[in-house]
Structure 1
Amino acid sequence: MRENEYQLLAGRPILATVAFEGSEPIAEARHAARRFMTAVQAVHGLPVSKRAMGLAELVVSELVTNAYKFAPGPCLLDLEIADGAVEISVWDTDPTLPAACSPDPGRVGQHGLEIAMAVCRSFEVRREPVGKCVKAAIVLADDPGGDPVGLLL
């Protein structure tokens, strides 16, 4: 795993990029999402609800799991704060676009894409010159009256 520094440049959003190659990256991706969201709140003073924190970890986990299971080669995770939301982008090397399965309460597994699509403000998939990118956005302070995540010192 390789992670850049969190950036806040004049007029530009907060951004982190994490590259995964080789070993199973799913737990590392969840930890990277939590560190990023905690830094957004602690360093930059943006409110992040407990729900947004949990949803960001869930969506990152589902998208990176799909990339790890179905695409050969490396995976890139971008986390960016824009318009009051965390935008989660996962790039992988497989050009095949994912599709959510038809609803089936009896099906075991293969619900990750459905879950991500249901909990996000926006969700899109696009082919890239190499592979594809799946992008989802989660509102940071979706709990009016605020229940911000407690900060760890």
Structure 2
Amino acid sequence: MNDTKIPDTATAPAEAVVRGDSTESIHRARKAARIFTDHLSPAPDPALAETLVLVVSELVTNALRHGGGRYTLRFSAGPRTLTAAVSDPDPALPRARTPDLDGATGGFGWHMVRRLTEALTVTPGPGAGKTICAQLAR
């Protein structure tokens, strides 16, 4: 699946959407986050833009690994916030795991996302799945 819609204008995009169902789509999601922040006016601080990229990378990776193997990612921005919302088909709530310090099985992503975001919500839907909405202060 390769369904990426990113505006190519210099004005602030109201919303951008990326869909993925493979590990290759993680790169597209990160690229979409960079393009999204690059087209915001005023542009967010570069460190904030990179934080959004990291949060997006973790959320879509988790959706692929633990959320049913596909996702829809939506970006939006307000005067004081940047938001990434990732929907997947699995209704199970994310759970924090004890990180594997030997590097074999991960467990760092959800902890990182919780620490990097201003607000983090998990809501049912669409359909039988869930949507994780991560908000960062601008």
Q: Does 1:55 align with 2:56?
A: no
Provide TM-score, normalisation by structure 1: 0.76
Q: Percent identity?
A: 28
- Tell me if the contact between 1:25 and 1:68 (Cα under 8 Å) persists in the aligned partners: no
Q: Any idea what the Cα deviations from partners look like across 1:90-148, whole Å, max 9, x if unmatched? A: 0001111102235x6846421101101101110111221321111111123xxxxxxxx
Structure 2: distance between partners of 1:15 and 1:118: 24
**Aligned equivalent of 2:116:** 119
SS of residue in 2 equivalent to 1:16: strand
Map 1:1-16; keep pairs closer than 5 Å.
Answer: 1-6=2-7, 14-16=14-16
Give yes or no for contact 1:95–1:132 (8 Å, CA) kept in 2.
yes
Is residue 24–residue 68 contact of structure 1 (8 Å, CA) maintained in 2? no
Partner of 2:26: 26
Give the structure 1 partner of residue 10 of structure 2: none
Q: Which residue of 2 aligns with 1:64?
A: 60
| TM-score of the superposed pair, with normalisation by structure 2 | 0.83
Report if the CA contact (8 A) 1:29-1:60 is conserved.
Answer: yes
Question: In the alignment, does 2:132 pair up with 1:134?
Answer: yes
Structure 1 residue runs of 5 or longer lacking an equivalent are 7-12, 141-153
Report the Cα distance in structure 2 between the residues aligned to 1:138 and 1:63, rounded to whole angstroms. 14
Cα drift, residue 16 of structure 1: 0.6
Higher relative contact order (CA 8 A, sep 6+): 1
> Between Structure 1 and Structure 2, whose CA radius of gyration is higher?
1
**Residue 25 of structure 1, CA deviation:** 1.4
| Partner residue of 2:107 out of 99, 106, 110 | 110
Query: In structure 1, what is the equivalent of residue 17 of structure 2?
Result: 17
**Conservation of the 8 A alpha-carbon contact between 2:23 and 2:64:** no
Q: Is the 8 A contact 2:22 2:64 kept in 1?
A: no
Tell me which residue corresponds to 2:35: 35
Distance 1:106 1:19 in 2: 31
CA RMSD of aligned residues (A): 2.3
The secondary structure found in structure 2 opposite 1:126 is strand
* Secondary structure of 1:114 counterpart: helix
CA distance in 2, matches of 1:124, 1:69: 19
Gaps in structure 2 of 5+ consecutive residues: 8-12
Alpha-carbon distance in 1 for matches of 2:89, 2:44: 32
